[in-house]
Amino acid sequence: MNNVNGFILIDAPASALNNAGPDIGAKTENTIAVKKIRRGRGEYVYVSGQAFRYWIRNSLENIFRWELSPIERESKIAFTAANPFKYPDDDVFGYMKAIGKKSGTTLTRVSPFKCSPLISVTPVNIVNDFGVMARHEGDPVPYEHQFYSTVLKGIFSLDLDSVGRFSSVNKTGYMNITQAYKEEWETHNCIVEEDGKVISLPVDIRGKRASELIGVLPYIFGGAKQTSHLTDVSPKFIVLAILNCGNNIFMNIAVDEKGEAAINVKALKEVILDYQENIISDLYIGKREGFMDEYNEDLKHMLDELNSTLSNIKVHLLTVNDAVSNFQQVVSGFYKR
């Protein structure tokens, strides 16, 4: 199984990216709390995995004009909402479509794209902000909302073998399509494999979908309270590589160093060396100038060391956009092997 493994850091100064609804214990009755988790004496804020997926899905629509699968089904068109041939987001984000016993099978597709929640690297001071709505006549309406300043970490994996490849094996997560799609796969010039059990889109479409999913990362936009906080949620630090296994190796790169978010360059170097046989593409590190610049020297140093030791892969240190666009080429190239 070949997977893109990715790690990102998002800088969130004065942000409220994902809210948990009314804060029950608050002084005012209309305080909106940010999503957080308490650990010991510290509070860690997070953006749920579901919200992060939503940002990516919407950004794909805006940036690459993906036609998103409609959520509402119409009775006459039986297969639009779970149609990975027509809708690229059904393909890469998976689906579950429960169909009544009369009309047949329940379709499910394991999402080739998987992502963690975005979690703050360090404990966070959450600010309660006080506001009023006073543009109307009469008493002003006070309200409170919370925000924070932090660095969020996230990881994701994209199963490259599954993108644009649909199975009709009767197993949970693998019953992606049925014979009823035959017309669809014929019009999309699909390749029929394993006696019709597996249907693949042409490699250029698979490459396009996978590389656009990666390519949207520098342009992701989303999150709550953007009108008053306008957080740039595009990654400021990113690590990308293709692995030939399902291990998510970049989970310990960001660390809490005396209350500050830090990049553990040593840990990054160690996982690259430990998994060099599993890493089957060049490794791309992207970093935005001005974000954690104190690690520039360490990263360059690591790069030189790795590139003189490693024979099968090369490590690149670029800007975020260059790292992503170069890696997009690697992903498209993967399908043309």
Residues that bind another protein (CB under 8 A): 1, 3, 19-21, 35-40, 44, 46, 48-50, 71-75, 94, 97-98, 100, 105-106, 110-111, 114-117, 119, 155-157, 159, 170-172, 175, 244-252, 278
Q: Which CB atom, from 190 or from 217, has the smaller least distance to another protein?
A: 217
Q: Which CB atom, from 176 or from 190, has the smaller least distance to another protein?
A: 176
- In the complex, what is the shortest distance from the CB of residue 247 to another protein, in angstroms, rounded to a whole number? 5
The amino acid at residue 232 is: D
Q: Which CB atom, from 31 or from 190, has the smaller least distance to another protein?
A: 31
Q: Which CB atom, from 149 or from 248, has the smaller least distance to another protein?
A: 248
CB 58 within 8 A of CB 52: no
Q: Phi and psi dihedrals of 212, rounded to 5? A: -70, -35
- In the complex, what is the shortest distance from the CB of residue 246 to another protein, in angstroms, rounded to a whole number? 4
Q: Which CB atom, from 112 or from 190, has the smaller least distance to another protein?
A: 112
CB 29 within 8 A of CB 19: no
Q: How far apart are CA 178 and CA 168, in angstroms?
A: 6
CB 93 within 8 A of CB 74: no
Q: How far apart are CA 188 and CA 164, in angstroms?
A: 11
- In the complex, what is the shortest distance from the CB of residue 31 to another protein, in angstroms, rounded to a whole number? 15
- In the complex, what is the shortest distance from the CB of residue 188 to another protein, in angstroms, rounded to a whole number? 25
Q: Which CB atom, from 224 or from 324, has the smaller least distance to another protein?
A: 224
Q: Facing residues of 152 across strands?
A: 10, 120
DSSP 226-288: HHHH----S-SEEEEEEESSS--TTTTSEEEETTEEEE-HHHHHHHHHHTTTTB-S-EEEEE-
Q: What is the DSSP letter of 181?
A: G
- In the complex, what is the shortest distance from the CB of residue 48 to another protein, in angstroms, rounded to a whole number? 5
Which positions ≥6 away from 10 have C-beta within 8 Å?
A: 118, 151, 152, 153, 154, 233, 234, 235, 236
The region, left, alpha or beta by phi > 0 then psi within -120 to 50, assigned to residue 45 is beta
- In the complex, what is the shortest distance from the CB of residue 295 to another protein, in angstroms, rounded to a whole number? 21
Q: Which CB atom, from 49 or from 202, has the smaller least distance to another protein?
A: 49
Q: Which CB atom, from 19 or from 332, has the smaller least distance to another protein?
A: 19
- In the complex, what is the shortest distance from the CB of residue 290 to another protein, in angstroms, rounded to a whole number? 27
Helix axes 320-335, 203-215, angle to 10 degrees: 160
Query: Residue written as tokens 């060396």?
Result: 273
CB 55 within 8 A of CB 62: no
- In the complex, what is the shortest distance from the CB of residue 110 to another protein, in angstroms, rounded to a whole number? 8
